[in-house]
Structure 1
Amino acid sequence: MAENRASVYGEGVPCWVDAQLPDVEAGKRFYGELFGWTFSEPGEAYGLAVWARLDDEPVATLARKADGRMPTVWTVYFATPDAEALGRRIIAAGGQLITAPLPLDDFGVHALAADPEGAVFGLWQAGGHAGFGRWHEPGTFAWVELYTRDTAGANAFYGDLFHEALFGRDAEPDFGRAVVSEVFPAEMPPHFLTHFQVMDLDDSLGAVRRLGGRVQVPPFETSYGRVAVVTDNQGASFALLRR
Structure 2
Amino acid sequence: MAARPEGTPCWADAMFGDVEGAKRFYGAVLGWTFGESSSEFGNYTQAYANGKAVAAVVPPMPGAEGQSAWCLYLASPDAAATAGKIRDNGGRVLMEPMQVGDFGTMVLAQEPSGAVFGVWQAGVHEGFEATAVPGAYCWAEVFTREPEKADAFFSAVFPYRVRQLLHEDMDFRLFDLGEETVLGRMEMTDDFPPEVPSYVNVYFTVDDCDAAVAKATEHGGVLRFGPMSSPFGRFAALSDPQGALFSVIDVSTTEGEMPEISDVS
Rg comparison, structure with higher value: 2
Distance 1:234 1:42 in 2: 20
* Greater per-residue helix proportion: 1
2:59 to 58, 64, 68: 64
Distance 1:63 1:222 in 2: 33
Letter in 2 for 1:227: F
Partner residue in 2 for 1:14: 9
- The Cα of 1:187 is off from its aligned counterpart by 2.5
Q: Does 1:167 align with 2:176?
A: yes
Identity %: 36
Partner residue in 2 for 1:180: 188
- The Cα of 1:116 is off from its aligned counterpart by 0.7
Partner residue in 1 for 2:117: 121
Q: Does 1:74 align with 2:74?
A: no
Partner residue in 1 for 2:33: 38
Moved more, 103-112 or 143-152: 143-152
Cα–Cα, structure 1 residues 123 and 68, in superposed 2: closer, same or farther, change >3 Å? closer
- The Cα of 1:35 is off from its aligned counterpart by 1.2
Distance 1:13 1:95 in 2: 18
- The Cα of 1:94 is off from its aligned counterpart by 0.4
Q: Does 1:235 align with 2:243?
A: yes
**Aligned residues of 1:142 and 1:174 also touching (Cα < 8 A):** no
Distance 1:130 1:218 in 2: 33
SS, match of residue 62 in structure 1: strand
Q: Which runs of 5 or more structure 2 residues have no equivalent in the other structure?
A: 162-174, 252-265
The higher relative CO (CA closer than 8 Å, separation ≥ 6) is in: 1
Moved more, 118-127 or 40-49: 40-49
Q: What is the TM-score with the length of structure 1 in the denominator?
A: 0.92
Letter in 2 for 1:125: Q
Moved more, 159-168 or 136-145: 159-168
Distance 2:203 2:149 in 1: 23
- The Cα of 1:212 is off from its aligned counterpart by 1.3
Q: Give the number of equivalent residue pairs.
A: 237
TM-align CA RMSD: 1.7
Letter in 2 for 1:51: Q
Partner residue in 2 for 1:24: 19
Partner residue in 2 for 1:216: 224
2:151 to 152, 155, 158: 155
Partner residue in 2 for 1:141: 137
- The Cα of 1:241 is off from its aligned counterpart by 1.4
Q: What is the TM-score with the length of structure 2 in the denominator?
A: 0.84
Per-residue deviation, residues 156-190 of structure 1 (Å, max 9, x unmatched)? 1111111247334222x231001101321122211
Partner residue in 2 for 1:95: 91
Q: Does 1:190 align with 2:186?
A: no
Distance 1:168 1:73 in 2: 26
**Aligned residues of 1:42 and 1:49 also touching (Cα < 8 A):** yes
Distance 1:10 1:45 in 2: 29
**Aligned residues of 2:142 and 2:184 also touching (Cα < 8 A):** yes
**Aligned residues of 1:24 and 1:49 also touching (Cα < 8 A):** no
- The Cα of 1:220 is off from its aligned counterpart by 3.4
Distance 2:177 2:131 in 1: 21
Letter in 2 for 1:174: V
Distance 2:196 2:14 in 1: 19
